[in-house]
């Protein structure tokens, strides 16, 4: 199972350690031509005034869940708290701009995961794990989750009972249904239902899917994800498509992206467009630059930036994400982008050793931040601008202290990607100092 609050904290990609020394595998994108596109960032929007919720009216399980720590504050108070935290961390490093909040800070999560459990009285419940345990707290609706996703999970809960689906028992390693994950396209409205099971044998699966679609005809695809290991990870490596194509698509920053069960895709689409818009603006692209997109995931930043660049090179450790990135480039008819499966630090080190240079470097590292190996390689690549996107201002501050040896740090722009939780994302641009005598 992912971290108990990962569903609330953004579920940032972390990658797994790559111990091999094989050369990076290149994945080429489409070579078809495309029309001109422009990406503009939205102006910082003032959040609408949100009434202070009470403990009972806002969320009945907040004390057991612990994800939404600011429910007893107004939204304005919450933004002020987060802004102060960022200012404290960035003291002596850079000026911090006001936090960009949401006009409607509710039901923003486009990915919802629910653990399933059968209680001693035979009742099937779904929800989240209570802090420090694997006891499932029932959740029928959540203030930050997509409402349609919560409805579908409720239907699956009832169907599991009527179809006599065996619920997985962690203690004994028996049973079938472990989790249900719902992914929904913010713009497209497409819905992907992932049934996480301990075995590929799902009795009456066709009738189950038929009943589910009868209740929710808007469902785009249903996938059986097989996780037969006794592990805390939610998803397994094998997917069996029961209905539809096994994936959905969505539009982000004017580009089309394919979302499969395991794809990393920002869970707050509204704020992501604001964040990426600011990142592209800070990059000051003219159409001629060589752009490196490090920790690129499924290519969202690189693809978004490609219209304003000469060429884009993306690197990501996760091979499945790189495959998705190449598909996404083809979906958008982008001829000037290529993706490589490799550790970002090692990849940049090898590129620098060959004398490769970059004009602009985008870096969007995991919560743990970047590495000294990567940042040393970035110095060797000599990009004139580094655009740093971070999901953890603490590790961002640490990295900026290192990078400012060769770069001037610009203003920090915080974005409230995960309202009511502790998390906040930031973006800044670093401009190379004139180091030559």
Positions marked catalytic: 391
What distance in Å separates the CA atoms of residue 149 and residue 107, rounded to the nearest whole number?
10
The size of the chain, in residues, is: 437
Quote helix, strand, coil % in the chain, to nearest 5.
Answer: 30, 25, 50
DSSP, residue by residue, 285-324:
--S--EEEEET-TTTHHHHHHGGGSSEEEEEES-HHHHHH
Burial class, 434, CB count within 10 angstroms (exposed 0-12 / middle 13-18 / buried 19+):
exposed
Q: How many CB atoms lie within 10 A of CB 312?
A: 29
288 annotated ligand binder? no
- For residue 403 the two structure tokens come to 């990078």
DSSP, residue by residue, 66-89:
-S-TTTTS-HHHHHHHHHHHHHHH
Q: How many CB atoms lie within 10 A of CB 16?
A: 7
DSSP-derived letter for residue 144 is S
Task: Write the CB contacts of 12 (distance below 8 Å, at least 6 apart in sequence).
Answer: 366, 367, 391
295 annotated ligand binder? yes
What distance in Å separates the CA atoms of residue 164 and residue 63, rounded to the nearest whole number?
32
Tell me the chain's radius of gyration from C-alpha atoms: 22
402 annotated ligand binder? no
8 annotated ligand binder? no
- Report whether 99 contacts 415 (CB < 8 A): yes
Buried-exposed string 32-63: b where 16+ CB fall within 10 A, e elsewhere: eeeeeeebebeeeeebeebeebeeeebbebbe
Query: 193 pairs with which residues across the strands?
Result: 182, 222
Q: Helix, strand or coil for residue 232?
A: coil
Q: Tell me the residue ranges of DSSP E strands in 198-269.
A: 221-226, 238-243, 248-252, 255-259
Closest CA to 90 of 437, 412, 416: 412
What distance in Å separates the CA atoms of residue 436 and residue 418, rounded to the nearest whole number?
42
Strands 111-118 and 124-129: antiparallel
Binding positions for S-adenosyl-L-methionine: 266, 295, 316, 364
Binding positions: 266, 295, 316, 364
């Amino acid at each position: 199972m992912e971290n108990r609050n990962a569903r609330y904290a953004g579920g940032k990609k972390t990658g797994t350690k790559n111990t091999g020394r094989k050369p990076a595998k290149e994945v080429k994108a489409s070579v078809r031509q495309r029309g001109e596109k422009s990406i503009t960032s939205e102006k910082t929007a003032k959040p609408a005034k949100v009434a202070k919720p009470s403990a009972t009216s806002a969320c009945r399980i907040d004390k057991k869940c612990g994800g939404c720590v600011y429910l007893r504050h107004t939204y304005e108070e919450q933004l002020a708290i987060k802004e102060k935290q960022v200012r404290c961390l960035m003291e002596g490093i850079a000026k911090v701009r006001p936090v960009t909040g949401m006009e409607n800070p509710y039901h923003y999560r486009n990915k919802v995961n629910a653990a399933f459990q059968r209680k001693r009285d035979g009742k099937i419940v779904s929800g989240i794990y209570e802090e420090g345990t694997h006891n499932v707290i029932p959740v029928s609706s959540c203030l930050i989750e997509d409402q349609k996703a919560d409805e579908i999970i409720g239907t699956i809960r009832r169907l599991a009972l009527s179809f006599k689906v065996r619920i997985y028992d962690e203690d004994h390693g028996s049973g079938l249904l472990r989790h249900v994950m719902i992914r929904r396209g913010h713009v497209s409205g497409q819905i992907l239902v992932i049934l996480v099971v301990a075995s590929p044998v799902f009795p009456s699966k066709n009738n189950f899917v038929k009943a589910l679609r009868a209740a929710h005809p808007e469902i785009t695809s249903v996938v059986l994800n097989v996780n037969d290991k006794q592990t805390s990870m939610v998803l397994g490596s094998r997917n069996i498509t029961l209905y539809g194509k096994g994936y959905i698509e969505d539009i982000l920053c004017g580009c089309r992206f394919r979302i499969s069960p395991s794809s990393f895709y920002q869970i707050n689409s509204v704020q992501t467009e604001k964040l990426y818009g600011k990142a592209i603006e800070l990059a000051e692209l003219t159409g001629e630059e060589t752009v490196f997109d490090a920790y690129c995931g499924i290519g969202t930043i690189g693809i978004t930036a490609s219209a304003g660049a000469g060429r884009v090179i993306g690197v990501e450790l996760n091979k499945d994400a790189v495959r998705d990135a190449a598909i996404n480039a083809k979906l958008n008819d982008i001829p000037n982008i290529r993706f490589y499966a490799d550790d970002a630090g090692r990849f940049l080190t090898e590129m620098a050793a060959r004398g490769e240079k970059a004009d602009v470097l985008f870096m969007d590292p995991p919560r743990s931040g970047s590495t000294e190996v990567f940042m040393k390689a970035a110095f060797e690549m000599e990009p004139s601008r580094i655009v740093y996107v971070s999901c953890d201002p603490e590790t961002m501050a640490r990295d900026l202290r290192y990078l400012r040896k060769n770069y001037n740090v610009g203003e920090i722009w915080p974005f409230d990607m995960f309202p009511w939780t502790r998390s906040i994302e930031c973006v800044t641009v670093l401009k190379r100092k004139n180091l030559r005598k």
